Structure 1
C-alpha cells in the first residue's frame, strides 16, 4: 500500500530500457538542472576541462564494466538536453572533488525489529526539485530511490525488489585517483540479486571516492555497515545501535571531517549512549551544542540542508518504510515491501 500526503517530494514511475529510464529521469530534472545547477559554480568546476583526462578514464571503465549504467547516463543526458561529457562528470563529482556537498546521517538500530533511518542532506536550493523514482528497467531489478535532478539513482536511499534497503553517506577521502565513479558503483548495487552479490561488487570495485552504505537485508536478516574508497573496503555486522555522519570510521586514509560531520557524529553517539534508540527522534534532533543533526539553516557551513528522511523497519513479513519531507513530522509516503514486491 502506497499512501501519499501533501509534501514537496514528487513520485515518478518509470519502466523501459536503461536509456529510456535515464531519459525519463533527465526530463523530470531538466528544469531544475538548467535553472539551478548549470549556472552554479560547482557545476562549472566539475565540468571544467581540467578534469578531462580523469573523466576519460572513468568513462572508459564505466563503458567497459557497466554498459547498462552507461546507457542510462546517455539517456539522462538526452533527457536533460546536455552534453554527455558534462552529465557524466557531474555524476563523478565526488570522485573529482573530495569536498563536494553531500552530507547525510544514518541511524542503525539492530534488534528483534531492526530499524535503519537516514537524513538525506544536499543543496538547499534543490528542496523542491528532488523526487522518488519507482523504476522498472527491462531485464533488471525494480527499485525505489530518492533522486536528485541530474543524477542517476543509488547514492541516497533506496529499496530493491529483492528486499534490500540501503542508505548512502558521503566520505570526503583525500588524494583519491578513482578508477570507477562511486555513483556508478552505488547504482550497480541496485542491480544485484543478493546481499553477497552487493558486498562482492563493492569489494571488487572499491578504487573510487568514498561512500558508506548501511544495508538491511530482509532475505538473510543481515544488517551491514560498509565503508569503501581509495581501494579500501571495510564491512561489519551491526550488533549494537550506531550512527554514521558521513566520515570514515574504519578506513585508514586521510579525509576531511567538516564541523557539521563531526558535530553530528558526536551528538548522535551521545544520544545513543543515553539510551535514545528512536531513529526518527535522532534524525530530527536540533539540540546539539554545535551543528545539529537535522539541518535546515540557510547559513549551513557545508551548504547542505536535510531534504528528506526515511525510516526502514524490518518486520517478520517485509520492510515497512516511511519517507518524510522538510515540512512535516508525519510521513509523506508510507509503503510495505513483501515477497519482492511493494503493495
Structure 2
C-alpha cells in the first residue's frame, strides 16, 4: 500500500468481533460525540417511536448474526455509548426512508473488471472517515471505508477472498424490516464470494433498501443486487453501467421509493456519459459538467445533505484486488495498493 497525508484516516485491527468493534469505536469516538450526537438526525433515529422496530431487529441480529452483534457491542464500548443508540444508528436506513447515504457506482466489465464508487455522505464527517483494515480471527479479512459510529459493509470494501463490494442507498417506503441492511452488508464481508452473498441476502430479504455491486476475483459474474422489503432482485452486469440511489430493477422499489433530484440527475448524467463512450472512472465520477445536479458532490448546500467524501477504484483479478482511494478531485490517490488472496484462518 502506498499512502499520503489525507483527511481520510487509516485504521488497522484484528482479533475477535468485539475487538474489531472496539477499534472501530475508538477511531470514530471524537467525531460521534462532537458531530453526530448533537445532530437532529441522531435524535430522529433514537426517537422512542422506533423502539418496537429496533427490538425486533436486535433480536434477529443476535439470533442470526451473533458475530455482527458482538461487533456492535464492541463498537458501543469503543464509542463510550450504550449499545441501544449505537445499534439504532446502524439501523438508520431501515427506520427512515430518507437518510443522507448517497453514492454513485460505475461498473465496467471485462477481463479485469472495474468497480468505481463515489462515497457520498454527511458533510460534517469530512475529515473524520477512515479506511479500516480488518483482520478478524474467523475470516481472511477486508478493507472498507468507514464512517464514525458505523459498521463496515455499507460503503465500499474489498476482501481477502478477492470480492469487491460497492453499496448505494435505496429509499424504499412502507417497510417493516426484520434485519438491518447494514448488518447484512457487514456479514457479506466475511463470505467466500458472490454466490454466498446472494444466498445470504435471499435468506434475509426483509430489510431496508440497498443496492450492492458485487464482483470477485474468481472470474464469476458481476452482479447488481437491489434488495429490501422482502425482495431481492439480481441482474448480471455485462455492459458498462452506472447506479445512483434509486431502484432500477427491484419491482417493489420501482413502485414504492423516493427518488431525489440528485439521484435522478446523477443517474441521467452517468448514463449520458456512458453513451458518449466515457469509461475512465474519474472522468465519470468526478463529472460536474451536466445541466443538473452533479455526480461529484461538493456543494455545502447539497439538497440531500451529502458530499462526496471519497472515490474508490477497485479491480478484482486472479491474484487479488488492485485498488486506490481518492480524497479529492484532480489529485493523486490518497491510498493505493493490491490486496492478495489471503487463506482462511485454520487453512493448512
So what's the TM-score if we normalise by structure 1?
0.97
Tell me the equivalent position of 1:45: 44
Q: Distance in 1 between matches of 2:318 and 2:91?
A: 38
Cα deviations by residue, 1:179-226 (Å, 9 ceiling, x for unpaired): 000000000001112321111001111110111011110013421111
Q: Distance in 2 between matches of 1:328 and 1:127?
A: 18
Q: What secondary structure is seen at the aligned counterpart in 2 of 1:100?
A: coil
Q: Distance in 2 between matches of 1:19 and 1:305?
A: 31
Cα contact 2:158–2:321 (8 A) shared by 1 = no
Cα deviations by residue, 1:103-157 (Å, 9 ceiling, x for unpaired): 0000011123311100000001101000000011122231100000000110000
- Tell me if 1:80 matches 2:79: yes
Cα contact 1:101–1:123 (8 A) shared by 2 = yes
Cα contact 1:141–1:192 (8 A) shared by 2 = no
Tell me the equivalent position of 1:335: 337
Tell me the equivalent position of 1:191: 190
Q: What secondary structure is seen at the aligned counterpart in 2 of 1:214?
A: strand
Q: Distance in 1 between matches of 2:316 and 2:60?
A: 36
Q: What secondary structure is seen at the aligned counterpart in 2 of 1:101?
A: coil
Q: What secondary structure is seen at the aligned counterpart in 2 of 1:309?
A: strand
After TM superposition, the structure 1 stretch with the greater mean CA deviation from structure 2, 329-338 or 263-272, is: 329-338
Question: Aligned-pair distance for 1:330?
Answer: 1.3
- Tell me if 1:67 matches 2:69: no
Q: Distance in 2 between matches of 1:218 and 1:316?
A: 5
Q: What secondary structure is seen at the aligned counterpart in 1 of 2:251?
A: coil
Question: Aligned-pair distance for 1:340?
Answer: 2.9
Tell me the equivalent position of 2:328: 326
Tell me the equivalent position of 1:283: 285
Q: Distance in 1 between matches of 2:184 and 2:35?
A: 26
Question: Aligned-pair distance for 1:327?
Answer: 5.7
1:262-301 matched pairs, under 5 angstroms: 262-301=264-303
Question: Aligned-pair distance for 1:236?
Answer: 1.6
Aligned residues: 340
Tell me the equivalent position of 1:115: 114
Q: Distance in 2 between matches of 1:314 and 1:255?
A: 32
Q: Distance in 2 between matches of 1:260 and 1:329?
A: 25
Tell me the equivalent position of 1:302: 304
- Tell me if 1:314 matches 2:316: yes
How big is the alpha-carbon RMSD for the aligned residues of Structure 1 and Structure 2?
1.1
- Tell me if 1:140 matches 2:139: yes
Question: Aligned-pair distance for 1:67?
Answer: 0.6
Question: Aligned-pair distance for 1:328?
Answer: 4.6
Q: What secondary structure is seen at the aligned counterpart in 2 of 1:227?
A: strand
Gaps of 5+ in 2: 344-348
Tell me the equivalent position of 2:98: 99
Cα contact 1:319–1:337 (8 A) shared by 2 = yes
Q: What secondary structure is seen at the aligned counterpart in 2 of 1:133?
A: strand
Cα contact 1:92–1:183 (8 A) shared by 2 = yes
Q: Distance in 1 between matches of 2:63 and 2:342?
A: 30
Q: Distance in 1 between matches of 2:135 and 2:320?
A: 20
Gaps of 5+ in 1: none
